[in-house]
Each structure stands twice: as C-alpha cells, then as structure tokens.
Amino acid sequence: MGFLAGKRALIVGLATERSIAYGIAAAMRREGAELACTYQNDRLKERVAEMAQGFGAELVLPMDVAHDAEIHSAFERIGSAWGSLDIIVHSVAFAPREQLAGGYLDSVTREGFQIAHDVSSYSLAALAKAGRALMEGRNGAILTLTYLGAVRSIPSYNVMGLAKASLEANVRFLAADLGRANQDAGRGGRRRLPKDADACRGGHAAATQRDDRGSRERRRLSLLRPGLGHHG
C-alpha cells in the first residue's frame, strides 16, 4: 500500500504523456491516490480523458484557469462526487509566444504581462480559494511547479521569469494562510526541462508547515525518482 492510499488528488495541467503533470499523476497513482483530472478546452478533452483512464480517474473535468466560473464548476463537481479533497497539483504556466522571443524589454507588453501572471500565478490562488473548503481538516497539500528563471535572468524566458517569481511569492503567502488550517502549499522545481518533459523525470516539493507550537519547519517530499532528469 502506497503512502497516498486513501488520498484524493486533483491534477490541473495534464496535457501530454511527456508533461510534468503526467509524471506527478503517475507517481501519485502508484502510491495509491485516487485522481481527478482537468482539461483546458475541447481540443484537449479526448487526449486528457484517455490519459485519465490509464490512471483509473473517473472525474475528468473542463477547467480553463483563466475563468473563475469554470474553476468553481469543477470544484462543485468534485465536492458532489467526493465530498472532500486532499491534494491539488497546479502544473499550469502560459505566456503569449511573442513574449518569449528576443529581449525582455523588446517583447514585454502590458497585455502579455497580465496574461502571464494571471494564468501562471494567480491561478494557484484561485485553485486554493475554490478548494479550501473541500480540504479543510484533511491535512492537505497544494503543489505547484517553478523554474530557475524565477531567480535568474534566462535568455528569452522574459516575462515568464517574473510570473514564476510571483508564483513563488504566492506559495509563501498561501503557506502562511493555509498553515493555520494544517494544509501545505509547496513548490517543486529543479533545473532546466523542455516544455514537454519526460514522464519519468521528477522533482521535489518543498513545503512549509506549521508544527504544534505554531513555528514553521521545512520538509521535502520526494514525489518522483530524483536524478532522472531536469525539472523546469
């Protein structure tokens, strides 16, 4: 029996069998978790449904994280089907293609900046807000993915570096808020990965948790086998 037996996890951002979300989902399923998966649009629906079937996931839900109504609808369906939730995996990032070409100042625009931060960072808070009630009292965890570009200037990463830095700050504030409810918010990340990463490639989640005295301690949770690749 795996260490996630009896746990229920929502995987947001599953797109291909080479995506990081797929590797996380496979590891969680291997450890006994029951999964629900989301797809962004009809173009991805069939593909995600097929992957979800491989994980034994019966809940496959539409969710574009840029639209609050779709987020709330998905969590309502999870609440109706499960009644509770233990884990949210946020594996979502996006910036318009033109924002990732050339130098930062040459490419950045107000609209591109807003889109990158909305989809890549705010969406984590939106998922946490929508799922908080279902996770209450369950010692749950929220996992997201970051990249070296959050703390270093990476050529052509441009506005996504700022969005990832925002995401990391987002995690710190979520950890402070959710720690009071005995829930974890964590970010995982290793070195470079191509946009579509091998499913066997892994990462770690660094989570902040309050102990019984209200102080914080750092702990590391190994989700996938380390050392098999690079995480972005």
Q: How far apart are CA 110 and CA 48, in angstroms?
A: 32
> Any catalytic annotation for residue 22?
no
Taking CA atoms, 93 is separated from 10, 49, 134, 160, in Å, by 17, 21, 24, 8
- How far is CA 221 from each of CA 53, 57, 188, rounded to the nearest angstrom? 26, 23, 9
The amino acid present at 159, given as its one-letter code, is V
CA distance 161 to 142: 21
DSSP symbols for 25-92 = HHHHHHTT-EEEEEESSHHHHHHHHHHHHHTT--EEEE--TT-HHHHHHHHHHHHHHTS---EEEE--
The residue annotated as part of the active site, out of 22, 39, 104, 157, is 157
Q: Is 157 a catalytic residue?
A: yes
Which residues belong to the active site? 147, 157
